[in-house]
Every structure is written in C-alpha cells, then in structure tokens.
Structure 1
Amino acid sequence: MKIIFISGLSFLLSLLTYLYPVQKSQQTEIVLCHAPAGPNVSHDMAQMAADPAFQKLHENPLLFTYVGAGDMIKFSTPDGQSANGFLLKSKNPSNKWLLVYQEWWGLNDNIKQQSEAFYNDLKDVNVLAVDMYDGKVATDRAEAGKLMSGASKDRLTSIVKGAIAYAGPKAEFGSVGWCFGGMLSLQSALQEGQQAKGCVMYYGRPEQDVEKLKTLQTDVLGIFGSKDKGITPESVKQFEENMQKAGKKVTVKMYDADHGFANPSNPIYDKEAATDAYKLSLAYLKEKLKA
C-alpha cells in the first residue's frame, strides 16, 4: 500500500510540475509576442495575429458604411504585381501626401472615413489609404488574425514602396496608421527616406532596431494607451529610449485608454481620448506638411 501511495503521490507531483509551467507560459505569452520587433518582422507579426490573447484585445467592429468622396485606384508594386488604394486627390495641384495605413481589419469603411476627415482638415494634401491585404477585409477578429498572420513581409514592403512611387519623387510624405497600421506608418517613414516629413503611429508596434531608427529622416508622434496589454507602456518606453540612442525625436502621448480606443467602430471607443488624439495628430501633420 505504501508503494502504491508513494507512486500515486509521485505521479500527482509530476502532473502539477508539468501543468504549472504551461499556465505560466499562457500568462506571459502576450508579452513574448509583443517583444521588441526584430529583423524577422513577418514572423513577429504572425505570432501576434495568431495569439488568442492578442486577438481578444480587439472587439469585433460595429457595422459601418462609408458614404463620401474618394476613389479606389491601382498602382504598380516592385514585385511585378499591382496594389490597391483609396485616393482623395487634392483639389489643387499638390506634392503633399498623407499615406494612411489600416488596422488589422483591412482597408474598411472606417479607414476611408478617417482618411476623409484628414483630407477635409488638411486641405491641399493628397490622401492615400493603402490596401495592405490586396482587397481582403475582415469583419471579425479570427478572420483578421488570419489575414495579418498571412501577410508576407516582402509583399507588405512592396506595397509600401509602390505607394511611395505612385506619389512620385517630388512628393513630401506624412503617414498615419492605427494598430497594425501604426507599425506600418513607422515602417513607411523608414522607406520614404528624405521624402518623409512626418509620422503618426497610433498604438502600433514600434521598431526597436536602433540601427534602423538611425535612418529615419523625420520625427515621430506616438499615440498609445496606458491600459494596452498588447503594445504595453513598457514597450513604448523602450521605443523612446531607442529613438534617443538613434539620435531621433519622438513625442509620446499616453492616454488612459485601451488598445483600439480611437476607432469609432470599436465597442471600446473612447470619444474623449480619440478627439484629443485627432487634434494632436492634425496639428502635427499640418506643421510637418505645411498644410
């Protein structure tokens, strides 16, 4: 009986020892998936999108239909394909451009509405919302996770380069994006080189490679939420430190809000924070684009 009891106790202890690390790993998984972005950005993004904890940060968007100005266009990409964009062309000839980058849902009607708001308030600036999913749009977080995890780094880079080339060599760029698009806004600024004049990133994953940040030709306005469990205040602080190491300027505005707070189609939309963030972004872009 003693042998049986000891064997049973040993098995129970082994089982508990096995289960405990699993629970601990689940608790810290989101931190690992939101670790500083390295050179394998595509893999890191796939990790984020496939992580159930990250998906739960995004409530399914409320139904919304955009009715307004703007046209869907196509432009060539360096990989020999073509990409799509939603263009609001300046009424007067202008070399000022605002590139708008979608959330992980895709180029949906909410992004089109946000693009029109910037277009109306900036005045003589061309606004191009870039379709990073080649026509695909998600309506629930599981679908968005699949689209984001399936996004190829090479294809994303090619689309960004195609949008920059579409505007032309004399274009002066500002960029803005939310969540997935916040990260893309910063990556776009890195691709724009000397043509980059301003960059706004809403709760997007920051580039943490100091050597890459050294190549930035513009400062950055970062808008984040202190309650964000994905793009955490700790990761934002690290970004600030790395920008300082790179000799670049970043202005961070941290709101008492959660991830996705500026999206009016998001059930956790924080109108007060979103309104203030928009005013801040608009003033910044007007100054940078001299609009």
Structure 2
Amino acid sequence: MPRFTALLILCALPLLAGCGSDGGSEAERMAEEHEGDTPTATDAAQAPEIPVEGRTVDYGQEDGTAHTGYLAAPANVDSVRSAQGGDALPGIVVIHEWWGLNDNVRAATRRLAGQGYRALAVDLYGDAVAETPDSAQALMGQAMEEPSRLVENVQAGRAHLASKADAPRTALLGWCFGGGMTYRTLAAEPSAFDAAVAYYGTPDPLTGDALQALEAPILAHFGTQDRAVSIDAARSFRDRMKDAEKPLSYHEYEAGHAFANPSGERYDPAAAEQAWARTTDFLRTHLYE
C-alpha cells in the first residue's frame, strides 16, 4: 500500500486526535466551519479578464517522484509583456485550500493568470482531492505530519517559476489551509518572495526570529466571524507585524471562514469581490511597479 494512502487511512480513523499536533486542532476547527460544504465548482467562479491557457506541469520532485501542479498563463504572453513593458511575466505560487488542488483552485489560478501572471498551483496532497469535509480533514491532518516537506514543495514551485518561466518576481498566495501554508513558508523563507497574499490562514508561524527576518510585504484577509482562524488571532498577528515594523495590508470582513470560495456555504460575494480587488491591486504594486 502506498505510504500516502496508508497514512490517510490512519488519519481518517482517529479524527478526534487530529492526526498531528500541528495540524490536528486547526483541521478540526476547519471541519466545523466547512460542515455541509462540497468542493463543487459553481457559476459564481469568475472567468479571467483575458484569454488564458492552463496545463498540468511537473515542477520538482521528492524521493524521485515528480510534484505535479497546474500552470496557467495568458494565451498571448507576448502581448501582455509588451503592454507591461517587461521581458517576462511575474509569477505567483498558488496554494490550495484544505480540499486539495481541485477545479475551484484551477479556476482561481486561471483568473490570477488573467491579470498578467504565470500562476502555478502547487499540490501539497500528492494528487489527492477531498470531496467531503471528513476526507479534507484527514488529508490536511496527514499533510501536516511533516510541514517541512510542504514548505519544500512550495519552494519547488517558486524555483520552477524562476528557472523555467523566467519570472523576474514571484508572489505567494493561498486560501484556508493554503493561507496558513503561506505564513509557514514565509517563516521558513523570509526573503524568497516579493509579496504574499493570505486568505483566512493561521498566521501563528510568523513570530520571533522568523518575523524579524521577514522581507516580503503581506496582504492578509480575515473574516470577523471565522471560527477556524479567530479574529483575535488575526488581530494579534496584525499587532505583531506593526510592532516589528513589517509591511502589512490587513483587512477584516464581516464574513466567516472561506468567504471567497464560491462552492462553500459561507461564500460572501461582496466580501469576495472586495478582497479580490485588493488582491489584484496589491499584486500589481509589488510585482509590476
């Protein structure tokens, strides 16, 4: 039996234990927030502003096995480069929600590419995708057994954009589980990215020496009604960043967890669109200007 499948079965059995001290309690809180959700793509997902092309790519490997992700870019790259006055397009490493790299994430990756970027959605679940909150909780718990491997996976995505796509600048963006991994990756690699965007992710890893070493400006979106990542934890992070004099664009929304996911029960169109507008402005400022 493959190692990943075996661990997933073990995680699915003792869910009360959380399958890992690092990801367990967080996964349980997210399960409560996602009760009744399904990761089915909906018509609410926005199409990219310009034609884009997406394809599956290998972007690194672990133990001889290639990481497989989803890369999207403008269909007419030369036209976009000419309009922006640059030789190459900036890159964005995209980290999926706790469901995995599914159709919703691919659609969001294409939408980001439609803003004039090469966007690479990395896969931290090894080709596994959850269809129910219980299976998502198990996948997240198993993945968080070895968070250093996840960070290395994200780093491989950035290296792919830099070496294979000649991205002059790169940003990091994630939602939910991916938002937490955004902070965790920044803590491990405080100077690797030119900007970062995190949607309702756990910001706990960014503290102490990691926070002091941070160089990338961050855009953080939090919901005041989020029970998976409390608003108190969000505000504590805001205060830490301010005390450390680190660049942070911090925003709260009268919404719950996963308010930007069009397939979820807590999707809030107004909050989602406001966060999207702030995200595109932020990325343009730090990747193009």
TM-score after normalising by structure 2: 0.78
- TM-fit CA distance, 1:186: 2.5
State how far apart, in whole Å, the 2-side matches of 1:137 and 1:221 are: 27
State how far apart, in whole Å, the 2-side matches of 1:103 and 1:255 are: 19
1:187 alignment counterpart: 184
- Farther-moved stretch of structure 1 (125-134 vs 194-203): 194-203
- Farther-moved stretch of structure 1 (258-267 vs 238-247): 238-247
Distance of aligned partners of 1:163 and 1:268 in 2 relative to their CA distance in 1, 3 Å threshold? same
Runs of 4+ deviating beyond 4 Å:
65-68, 190-193
Q: Is 1:135 the equivalent of 2:135? A: no
- TM-fit CA distance, 1:137: 0.3
- TM-fit CA distance, 1:222: 0.5
Please list every run of 5 or more consecutive structure 2 residues that lacks an aligned counterpart in the other structure.
1-17, 79-86
Distance of aligned partners of 1:269 and 1:257 in 2 relative to their CA distance in 1, 3 Å threshold? same
State how far apart, in whole Å, the 2-side matches of 1:79 and 1:289 are: 33
Q: Is 1:144 the equivalent of 2:136? A: yes
- TM-fit CA distance, 1:78: 5.9
State how far apart, in whole Å, the 1-side matches of 2:62 and 2:213 are: 21
Q: Is 1:161 the equivalent of 2:139? A: no
Please list every run of 5 or more consecutive structure 1 residues that lacks an aligned counterpart in the other structure.
1-32, 34-41
Residues 251-290 of structure 1 correspond to what in structure 2 (within 5 A)? Answer: 251-290=249-288
- Farther-moved stretch of structure 1 (229-238 vs 138-147): 229-238
- Farther-moved stretch of structure 1 (190-199 vs 211-220): 190-199
Larger radius of gyration: 1
State how far apart, in whole Å, the 2-side matches of 1:250 and 1:171 are: 22
Q: How many residues end up aligned between the 2 structures?
A: 248
CA contact under 8 A between 1:185 and 1:199: conserved in structure 2? yes
State how far apart, in whole Å, the 2-side matches of 1:142 and 1:85 are: 24
Q: Is 1:82 the equivalent of 2:79? A: no
% same residue:
28
Residues 41-190 of structure 1 correspond to what in structure 2 (within 5 A)? Answer: 43-49=21-27, 51=28, 53-58=29-34, 59-64=36-41, 69-77=53-61, 80-90=64-74, 91-92=77-78, 94-121=88-115, 123=116, 125-151=117-143, 152-168=146-162, 171-190=168-187
Which digits, 9 at most, give the CA deviation of each residue in 1:81-122, with x for residues without a partner? Answer: 42111001352362511111100000010011111111112x
AA aligned to 2:153 is: I
State how far apart, in whole Å, the 2-side matches of 1:208 and 1:77 are: 27
**If each structure's helix is expressed as a fraction of its own residues, which one has the higher value?**
1
State how far apart, in whole Å, the 2-side matches of 1:81 and 1:212 are: 30
